[in-house]
Amino acid sequence: MTRLGLTLPRALPLLPWVARPVDVISVLVLIFALVALSLYALTVGSYSLGVAQAWQALWFPGQVDSTMRNLLWELRLPRVALAILAGMAMSLAGLLMQSLTRNPLAAPGLVGVESGASVTMLLIIVLWPSLLPLELYPLAALAGGLAVAFFVALLSWRQGISPLRLILVGVGLTAMLSAVADLLITYGNIDQVESALMWLGGSLHRAGWAQVHSLGVWLLLAGVPLLFFHRQLNLLQLGEKVALSRGLNVTGVMIFLLLCSVMLTAAAVANVGTMTFVGLVAPHLARQLAGDRHGALMPLSALVGALLVLAGDTLGRGLFPPLQLPAGLVVAIIGAPYLIILLARQRSR
């Protein structure tokens, strides 16, 4: 296929969006915006830096004093990297959940992953704060989220996974776990509850290179394989009967994609807390650029999600320093009105 004087490959699995130059432009614009916002985010905080100072400390760390070097490399740079990875993971998980259930309002926490991770963290922080060292908290939250998601899938299974059963079981179990979380918050020690609430709000205040490496590994394991499944997702959007008639192993593909969504959500929640809204709104924003073509939706959703979380964290750090607002709360407060307007416009069409 030749467009704009270029010969564009039609069957390049890792770059399915190259068949439309507008998608390439959208991806490049979002990457540029993400790089620019990342550089600005390095300058924001209770100790402000100039862009030139941040650039020098980033590329020539030996030429700056140790205080500035440690501030950038040990505090702000891992925080920016973690925000980007968490946004990508949550947005991809949300896109998968919306596609598998064919429900545009589905969020990554639909199968109880976020609730399971949240209750696990609350149990540890509020009831048994000395049970685990701080470094193992993300691993415990990951285990709790995966366990609940497995239980939801088990209850939803009946000769395959039905999207309707998955939604009903997930909503019911999430409601039960939310009640347990409210109970722990209401009657727990106030100091420990305050620490837990900061995490539940989607905060990156404890970001470090260990969390970046952990989430990066999970994103590689569960995110990169999705680049090969855009055609299967397009078929599933047309319904199970159409997908079966085209030779798709619907049950196997749905199980694999659901597992990827669960792993991405659990890993993100375990490291940065609950950010359900990112997984809900990022795919909708990406659809404004690419429609329902998953080959373009996946990279665009990942970039939009990264921008949302990084922007929310940057605003949370810069609005009222030294007070830090959780990124998840900032994104929800700013993004919710836009999502309502967007859905209202789609309904009126």
Question: Residue 108: CA atoms inside 13 Å, Cβ hemisphere, count?
Answer: 39
Q: How far apart are CA 319 and CA 286, in angstroms?
A: 27
pLDDT reported for residue 77:
92
Classify residue 324 as left (phi > 0), alpha (psi -120 to 50) or beta: beta
CA distances for 7 relative to 2, 14, 21, 150, 172, angstroms: 5, 17, 11, 46, 51
Q: Identify the CA nearest to 262 among candidates 150, 136, 174, 176.
A: 150
CA distances for 281 relative to 30, 158, 189, 326, angstroms: 16, 31, 34, 18
pLDDT reported for residue 1:
42
One digit per residue, the tens of pLDDT, for the chain of length 349 reads: 444 444 444 444 445 544 577 788 888 999 999 999 999 998 887 777 777 777 887 787 777 777 788 888 888 899 999 999 999 999 999 999 888 888 777 777 777 888 888 888 888 888 887 777 766 777 787 788 888 888 887 887 776 667 777 778 888 888 888 888 888 888 877 777 877 777 777 778 778 888 899 899 999 999 888 888 888 888 887 777 777 777 777 778 888 888 888 888 888 888 888 887 888 889 988 888 887 788 888 999 999 999 999 999 999 888 877 778 888 888 888 777 877 877 677 666 5
pLDDT reported for residue 349:
59
- Domains of the chain: residue spans and CATH: 31-347 (1.10.3470.10)
| Residue where the block lists tokens 């980007």 | 84
Q: Identify the CA nearest to 125 among candidates 193, 180, 186.
A: 193
pLDDT reported for residue 160:
65
State the chain's maximal CA–CA distance in angstroms: 67
DSSP-based three-state secondary structure for 132:
coil
Measured distance between the N- and C-terminal CA atoms of the chain, rounded to whole angstroms: 33
Q: In one letter, which amino acid is 223? A: G
Q: Identify the CA nearest to 269 among candidates 153, 175, 137, 166.
A: 137
Q: Which helix (H) or strand (E) holds 349?
A: none
CA distances for 322 relative to 183, 205, 215, angstroms: 31, 12, 27
Q: Identify the CA nearest to 226 among candidates 276, 278, 268, 261.
A: 261
List of long-range contacts for 218-222, beta carbons under 8 Å, 24+ apart:
218/89, 218/263, 218/264, 218/267, 219/85, 219/88, 219/89, 219/264, 219/267, 221/263, 222/259, 222/260, 222/263, 222/264, 222/267
Count of positions (residues) in the chain = 349
CA distances for 244 relative to 13, 253, 338, angstroms: 22, 11, 37
Q: How far apart are CA 151 and CA 220, in angstroms?
A: 25
Cα angle for residues 141, 257, 345 (degrees, 5° grid)? 95
pLDDT reported for residue 348:
62
